[in-house]
Amino acid sequence: MPPRGARVEVPFGKRILVGVVHDHQPSSLKTLKPVKRVLDQAPIIDDRLYALCEWAAGYYHHPLGEVLNFVLPTLLRQGQAARPDAEIRWRITDRGRHVTTDRLKRAPRQQEALALLVEHPDGLTPAMLEALSVSRPALQALREKQWAEREELLPQVPPLPADVLAEPALSASPEQRLAIEAINQASGFQPFLLDGVTGSGKTEVYLQAMAPVLAAGRQVLVLVPEIGLTPQTLRRFRQRFAVPVTVMHSGLNDRERLEAWLAAGEGRARIIIGTRSAIFTPLQAPGLIIVDEAHDGSLKQQDGFRYHARDLATWRARQWNIPVVHGSATPALETLHLAHTDRYQWLRLRERAGGAALPDIELLDARDAAPDAPLLPSALTAIEDTVRRGEQALVFLNRRGFAPVILCRDCGWQAECPRCDSVMTWHRSLSQLRCHHCDHQQRVPRRCPECGSSNLIDAGAGTEKLEALLSDHCQAPVVRIDRDTTRRKGSLDAKLAEIRGGAPAVLVGTQMLAKGHHFPRLSLVVITNLDAGFLSADFRGPEQAAQLLLQVAGRAGRKDLRGRVLLQSRHTDHHLVRLAAAGDYHALADTLLEERRMAGLPPFGHLALLRCEAMSMDKALAFLDECAAPFLQHSNVDDDSVNLLGPAPAPMEKRAGRYRAQLLLQARQRPALHGVLDALVRHARGLPSARHCRWHVDVDPTEMV
């Protein structure tokens, strides 16, 4: 009988589907059909991974079948063999070795091929055959005579090198040393927060903590943010260690993805580096998990199966009984709280590596700035001075496009997205208006559609406008990095390489620039337009704004040059803006944590959102009302109660043509929350009105819109 986690083909209506075995039970049901074919004798999702899937399905209230489907590489889902690509070798046989060449006088192609096989006793690969232009029919003919053979070699687990280090480690600072030793001393499950300021050399700590794990023949799983997986990151791991490194990210094709999954599961890969979904990789001999930039939002999946890879990493480390390191200069408040309460061991790097100093942040009051000038004159001067000195500057603006609004000066009309509650962004280089929420696109109107006036103007600035402005002012190339300029494969890497090259330049970009980059010649950072985050009604707004601010600021002065950061703000006396500008993330975090404690918000309380989209707001609200009805009496305030807030229209009421509403569940204790969620989801699935809307549950939501 196929075991749990093996694949089988089953008839389903008229189709044949691939399924994963969950359990066996005798049944007398006549309508049940027998399994058509067993695809795997051994589980393809091993017991450990299966347990993770089951737990995550329960925790995130997502159907187990969909979780298993999500976890399996596409080719396995389609029923292909769980076998790696064999390496093909053509070799000479013993018989072939004794053939004298004149026996092939009348077959010169075969003669040639045989001679080459003699020259290559280890065999010829298809690539070598190609390069040597060996005739395929000739090879086949030799094979039929049994003078040559075709071998299929399955990849083997390579032997452990005598020394896993391919290059010497840097000499660690005392703080780094303490952190490395703590991680290496952990036996079994132990979560760590590696809380190190930007440029403090967290990567060096990871590398040195990994060395003994790899030397012991165990594997290391490294999770990085989507954008953090640059060739430079990979190079640092590949250069240091003489062991195979496998990469997993969304850019792989189906075959590459399957190969990576199998290499990890068979133990051929020793270091597995990937974005969030890599947490679902089977490992043969896990020894350590590292979550780099553990505060990063991309670790949480925001559609379908809404898991948080950061939290699953800790769960897996416990399951595998190994240490897990969460590294960040700006840890999430949840993680910080775990460190404060000693559930995570707190490792701190307070100083930058190699003697560099942390940059000071200067507040620039932008209250009186001209409304259409994205940069204050003093900031512009500082940028010009920087490139004149032969250094690099970075201007951060978290908004793509040329201008966020187009409006009519005569009647006040604004270009709005017909499908969303949102204005359209003007992308000048594309001569298009685009909605950043649903990707609706339209041409830029010549006249106001309301009053016919041609007096249309744009307001505000995006990265495209900043790029144009800086190109006019600066005697250096302006490099823009945002989603629009990096769509083509390899273009981001090319731009990052140009900056690392070190010639004077001005970088303009969005939060893509905030993630872990190391630019040695960058000395000035100008940050604009972060106010909205600090003032946001979303309780996570200030935390995210502070993280963004300090991460972007942290790109300045990482090597020999002294860094300087200018923060343009219209709210220079707001207490959170001031705290953030003081550069003291922990002071700010303590303030925010206190606010969260008072409000019973995470990490002091737990949240889940039930979101619903429908063709009208009434339908969406009605569905959520029905969902909530049986649970309303729970609303008292003892410790294991669950508060239901709403339903209410979502902050963005309409998106991509659908109306959105949400119901918030808030509880002091997780078990209470999950108890109500379980019942609520079951109840919701049975409601007839569920057919008229799309709904989902988001446990531990990170985006409240």
Please report how close the Cβ of residue 651 comes to Zn ion at its closest, in angstroms: 15
Q: Where are the alpha helices (DSSP H) in 221-365?
A: 231-240, 254-266, 309-320, 333-340
170 binds, among ligand ADP, Zn ion, none (CB under 5 to 8 A by kind): ligand ADP
Q: Are 427 and 434 in contact (CB under 8 A)?
A: yes
On whether 420 is known to bind a ligand per the annotation, the reply is yes
Q: Which is nearer to ligand ADP, 299 or 642 (CB)?
A: 299
Q: Are 281 and 261 in contact (CB under 8 A)?
A: yes
Size of the site for ligand ADP (CB under 6 A): 18
In this structure, the number of other CB atoms found within 10 A of the CB of residue 627 comes to 22
Question: How far is Cα 663 from Cα 648, in angstroms, rounded to an integer?
Answer: 7
In this structure, the number of other CB atoms found within 10 A of the CB of residue 124 comes to 23
Which of 43, 199, 282, 404 contacts ligand ADP by CB under 6 A? 199
On whether 474 is known to bind a ligand per the annotation, the reply is no
Task: Name the one range near ligand ADP by CB under 6 A: 105-113, 133-141, 197-205, 278-286.
Answer: 197-205
Q: Which is nearer to Zn ion, 20 or 423 (CB)?
A: 423
On whether 435 is known to bind a ligand per the annotation, the reply is yes
In the block, which residue shows the tokens 């959170």?
A: 576
Q: Are 666 and 448 in contact (CB under 8 A)?
A: no
Secondary structure letter of residue 35 according to DSSP: P
Binding to ligand ADP (CB under 6 A) within 509-568 occurs at: 516, 518, 558
Asked if 203 interacts with ligand ADP (CB under 6 A), we say yes
Q: Which is nearer to ligand ADP, 178 or 444 (CB)?
A: 178
606 binds, among ligand ADP, Zn ion, none (CB under 5 to 8 A by kind): none
Asked if 689 interacts with ligand ADP (CB under 6 A), we say no
413 binds, among Zn ion, ligand ADP, none (CB under 5 to 8 A by kind): Zn ion
Which of 172, 262, 469, 676 contacts ligand ADP by CB under 6 A? 172
Question: How far is Cα 700 from Cα 602, in angstroms, rounded to an integer?
Answer: 8
Q: Are 300 and 702 in contact (CB under 8 A)?
A: yes
204 binds, among ligand ADP, Zn ion, none (CB under 5 to 8 A by kind): ligand ADP
116 binds, among ligand ADP, Zn ion, none (CB under 5 to 8 A by kind): none
Which of 179, 180, 353, 417 contacts ligand ADP by CB under 6 A? 353
Element (H, E) at 407: strand 405-408
Measured over the CA atoms of residue 299, residue 305, residue 311 and residue 316, the dihedral's sign is negative
Question: How far is Cα 361 from Cα 526, in angstroms, rounded to an integer?
Answer: 10
In terms of residues, how long is the chain?
A: 705
Asked if 200 interacts with ligand ADP (CB under 6 A), we say yes
440 binds, among Zn ion, ligand ADP, none (CB under 5 to 8 A by kind): Zn ion
Residues in touch with Zn ion (CB under 5 A): 408, 410-411, 413, 417, 419-420, 435, 437-438, 440, 448, 450-451, 453
CA distances from 398 to 127, 484, 527, 568 (A): 47, 13, 9, 13
On whether 53 is known to bind a ligand per the annotation, the reply is no
353 binds, among Zn ion, ligand ADP, none (CB under 5 to 8 A by kind): ligand ADP
Residue 647: asked if its preceding bond is cis (omega within 30°), the reply is yes
In this structure, the number of other CB atoms found within 10 A of the CB of residue 547 comes to 28
Q: Which is nearer to ligand ADP, 61 or 558 (CB)?
A: 558
In terms of C-beta density within 10 A (0-12 exposed, 13-18 middle, 19 or more buried), how is residue 508 classed?
buried
Asked if 201 interacts with ligand ADP (CB under 6 A), we say yes
CA distances from 301 to 307, 484, 538, 699 (A): 6, 22, 19, 11
Binding to ligand ADP (CB under 6 A) within 6-25 occurs at: none
Please report how close the Cβ of residue 200 comes to ligand ADP at its closest, in angstroms: 4
Asked if 170 interacts with ligand ADP (CB under 6 A), we say yes
Binding to ligand ADP (CB under 6 A) within 285-344 occurs at: none
**φ, ψ dihedrals at 543, nearest 5°:** -60, -45
Which of 110, 111, 173, 330 contacts ligand ADP by CB under 6 A? 173
Please report how close the Cβ of residue 353 comes to ligand ADP at its closest, in angstroms: 3
In this structure, the number of other CB atoms found within 10 A of the CB of residue 318 comes to 14
Picking from 155, 428, 374, 369, the residue whose alpha carbon sits closest to that of residue 269 is 155
127 DSSP β-pair partners = none
Q: Taking CA 293 as the corner, what is the angle to CA 289 and CA 296, rounded to the nearest 5 degrees? A: 115
Which of 196, 228, 359, 542 contacts ligand ADP by CB under 6 A? 196
Question: How far is Cα 494 from Cα 487, in angstroms, rounded to an integer?
Answer: 12
Q: Which is nearer to Zn ion, 109 or 437 (CB)?
A: 437
Q: Which is nearer to ligand ADP, 290 or 481 (CB)?
A: 290
SS3 53: helix
Here's the x/- map for ligand ADP, 570-599, by CB under 6 A: it reads as ------------------------------
Q: Are 34 and 8 in contact (CB under 8 A)?
A: no
Q: Which is nearer to ligand ADP, 125 or 184 (CB)?
A: 184
Give the annotated binding-site residues for Zn(2+). 408, 411, 417, 420, 435, 438, 448, 451
Q: What are the residues binding ligand ADP (CB under 6 A)?
A: 170-173, 176, 196, 198-204, 353-354, 516, 518, 558
Give the annotated binding-site residues. 408, 411, 417, 420, 435, 438, 448, 451
